[in-house]
Amino acid sequence: MRLLVTGAAGMLGTDVAACAAPHDLVALARTELDVTDADAVRAVMRDARPDAVVNCAAWTDVDGAESDEDAATAINGDGAGHVAAAAAEAGAFVVHVSTDYVFAGDATEPYAEADPTGPRTAYGRSKLAGERAVAAAAPGAHAIVRTAWLFGPHGKNFVDTILRLGGERDALNVVADQIGSPTFTGHLAQALVTIAETRPNGVLHVAGGGRCSWYELARETFARTGMAVDVRPCTTAEYPLPAPRPAFSVLGSSRHDHPTLPPWQEGLAAHLAIRKVHA
């Protein structure tokens, strides 16, 4: 299979490219392909002639999107549509990465694929626009993969940030009233390649197994690294940010054909092993 990966220099895209063997890989970083340029995307697809495309190109600055929603939507919405349309023209299956932020975050049970969306942030709206653009441009030949709370060795993420802060401070306050599904990019990347191979159509939820709060994730991180840091729970209200965070964004699945990832604790252990910061 000839596999094309967009956003291939990002935190997730780097791992997807690394998981692509033994397939014939075309990996394009943002500097090599601007997904907001429809003509450029079409030309790349024509030249590369991929069998499948994994679209990891994205605006990921959740807070920044609040003050520049148009720019976020140009990448996450229009850009996703350009990739899907060009893939469809080339006869390729498209795997598009989306997010838990398309939901309102006020559920009490894990969100399934068919649950109503209702984003409350500019970022979430931009990603939902991308989902709709992909489904419209490549009906019958797309997988929209919603995931959550990504961390990995190739980009900025919560786990690395908390490790840095733990090295600087004896005590940290960490939000305890937001619950989600931490997901290791190494595990997700392999699942995305598998989806490109098996081609399940429609929306799939693929995230780390289990659930926890940011507070619990921080505690587990320090426990596994042997760092003596006093982690104290705080509320979302005590740590305000420009974009409201979902209180509950655990992802579940009602589909039998979705890849199942290991528990988030295994993802954390794998990440720390790569970072060489385990106890």
Query: Phi/psi at 102 (nearest 5 deg)?
Result: -75, -10
Give the end-to-end CA distance of the chain in Å, rounded to a whole number: 40
Strand boundaries in 148-197, DSSP class E: 150-151, 171-175, 179-180, 183-184
Judge whether 158 and 214 are in contact, CB under 8 Å: yes
* Count of residues making up the chain: 279
Judge whether 44 and 92 are in contact, CB under 8 Å: no
Active site residues: 123
Distance between CA atoms of residues 272 and 122, nearest Å: 32
Strand boundaries in the chain, DSSP class E: 2-6, 24-28, 52-55, 93-99, 142-147, 150-151, 171-175, 179-180, 183-184, 202-205, 212-213, 230-234
Distance between CA atoms of residues 144 and 129, nearest Å: 12
